A and B are shown apart, each in its own frame.
Chain A
Amino acid sequence: MSDPAKPEDFANRPFDELVAELQRIVQALEAGNLPLEESIARYREALRLHAAAEGRLRDAELTISQLGRGLDEAAAEASSADPEV
């Protein structure tokens, strides 16, 4: 079990890690063998992870980039005979 993350760490962590961490906490809580105080701490962390992951989804916008080279070929094709395929 990793140390509980600080909320500010969540912004830099990939979405799937947030979800995986949330899943680990849920499983640990469900196993029911944590001391009560730690259960409460873990639960608080679960709420923070949930909020972070949910926010990530809400604000997500697909990033698109293009490798620079090869555009000449593509452009040649676009201007010549490439039908809409």
Chain B
Amino acid sequence: MPPLPDQAKLWETPSPAPRILRVSDLNRRVRVLLDGDPALADVWVEGEVSQPSYPPSGHCFFTLKDAASQVKAVLFREELARATVRPEHGMQVICHGKVRAYEPQGTYQVYVESITPAGAGDLHQQYEALRARLAAEGLFEEGRKRPLPRWPRRIGVVTSPVGAVWRDIGNVMRRRYPIGELVLSPTIVQGATAAGAIVRALHRLYADDGIDLVILARGGGSLEDLWSFNDERVVRAVVESPVPVVVGVGHESDVTLADFAADLRAPTPSAAAEQAVPDLSAFPAILDRLRDRASAALIGRLTDRRSYLAQEARALARLLPDTGAARQRAAELVDRGHRALASRTAREQAALAGLGEALRALSPAATLERGYAVARLLDGTIVRDPAQARIGEPLEVVVARGRVATRVEGTAGAQEELLR
């Protein structure tokens, strides 16, 4: 690194008299020197924690040492909160961070960004070792995983009550499943004490037998941030759950051991909420379809019944004689009969009337009135020829007002004689 111009001049100008530096200049020079070394900006150092202090500022100051040397270290409040271990005297740790000079004190120190226990290998090794052990125990087997209740009524949520995750879960539930009930079991989700807190929060829900489903969630972060979810106690607490557990921790790419133990692993907290419940926003349409199907089925039923009745009626009609036609024929016959009878009666009445006139004209009474008589033999035979009557035979002579009994005295010839 090129030295700063003014300082370069201080060092490079040959002078018989030594240049006297101000302390500030010296410390500044050292700071600039250290800041210029990329290796010191990203350093991993292993050592033993000595004399940690926790002033009210929330930061942690300690000394990191080995058998021969020591160096000052600081863990600022934000990093301390995310750390999986809290530095304690005598603890073997691996610190990751950068080395910088602290000008006011003329010291340099390690600004620790993450701190993990040493001895058990790095976090990744620890993760793999624990995963292998718990997997061998069968805790991650697919056969252990339970189906989620399709219609959970009360849903337990273990997460931090502050921050976006809890808010997001609430929003997803309001949008998809407002008929449900969320029961928050609050916990811290990072830091050295988080694992124990998460386990307690889970067990609080397990003690409530009205809970149908548990969501364990946390937002994204570094491997260290999510470390509690790789804690064996948390993994076992998930496995022990009496109800299915959905775990949504970090982002899609973050897979913690708690994820492996979950009945359902969701890529994110919001996805955990989405997968935990059905989406009721589709249900008004589903309900309408069901109602329409019921209507269609009933209409079909009625139509069937009507066509069945029509069919029955046709079948009956085929079975019965066609009385209608017969009745009509009968009626026609009767009509014809009536008509025939009526005309014959009329004709006969007319004939009778004519006959009566004829009879009256032919009646002998009228002739008898005029003075004619009819001669009859005893057997009623009318005598028209003298040859019919024998001498001495009785005759009955009919006149207009009675009969005269006589006897044949004699006979004569033709009619002319009588008219003479």
Contact = CB atoms under 8 A, between A and B. Distances in A.
A64 interface: yes
A42 B293 CA distance: 13
A67 B185 contact: yes
Given A62-B170, A67-B204, A77-B160, A82 B81 contact: yes
A26 B290 contact: yes
B305 interface: yes
Given A46-B294, A62-B180, A54 B287 contact: yes
B290 A22 contact: yes
Interface stretch (B24-32, B91-99, B161-169): B161-169
Contacts of B65: none
Nearest to A53: B287
B281 to A, nearest CB: 9
Contacts of B221: 85
Nearest to B302: A36
B191 A46 contact: no
A85 B225 contact: yes
Given A32-B304, A57-B284, A84-B164, A70 B183 contact: no
B153 A57 contact: no
Chain A: interface secondary structure? helix
Interface stretch (B110-118, B128-136, B171-179): B171-179
A2 interface: no
A54 B300 CA distance: 25
Contacts of A61: 178
A63 interface: yes
Given A23-B290, A43-B295, A81-B81, A64 B187 contact: no
Interface residues of B, number: 63
Nearest to B176: A62
B160 A15 contact: no
Given A62-B180, A64-B181, A66-B161, A26 B294 contact: yes
B189 A85 contact: yes
A80 to B, nearest CB: 6
B417 interface: no
A60 to B, nearest CB: 4
A73 interface: yes
B294 A73 contact: no
Nearest to B286: A19
A47 B291 CA distance: 7
Nearest to B225: A85
Nearest to B220: A85
Interface residues of A, number: 46
Interface string B250-291: 000000000000000000000000000000100110111011
B182 A14 contact: no
B297 A74 contact: no
Given A62-B178, A67-B205, A46 B290 contact: yes
Contact of B174 (A29, A36, A62): A62
B151 A81 contact: no
A85 B151 CA distance: 29
B395 to A, nearest CB: 102
Given A60-B178, A85-B219, A76 B188 contact: yes
A53 B78 CA distance: 50
A67 B184 contact: yes
A28 to B, nearest CB: 9
B164 A50 contact: no
A29 B284 contact: no
A73 B283 contact: no
28 contacts: A15-B280, A23-B290, A25-B294, A36-B302, A43-B298, A46-B290, A47-B291, A50-B290, A50-B294, A54-B287, A56-B179, A57-B283, A61-B178, A65-B182, A66-B161, A67-B185, A67-B186, A67-B201, A67-B204, A70-B185, A70-B204, A71-B161, A73-B188, A74-B160, A78-B160, A84-B219, A85-B220, A85-B221
Interface of B: 58, 77-78, 80-82, 150-151, 153, 160-165, 170, 173-174, 177-191, 193, 197, 200-201, 204-205, 208, 218-221, 225, 280, 283-284, 286-288, 290-291, 293-295, 297-298, 300-302, 304-305
Given A67-B205, A73-B186, A82-B81, 15 more contacts: A15-B151, A19-B283, A29-B294, A32-B304, A43-B295, A62-B180, A62-B182, A66-B161, A67-B185, A70-B201, A73-B188, A74-B162, A78-B161, A81-B191, A82-B190
What 10 pairs across the A-B complex have the smallest Cβ distances?
Answer: A81-B81, A29-B297, A74-B186, A85-B219, A60-B178, A16-B151, A77-B188, A63-B181, A46-B294, A78-B162
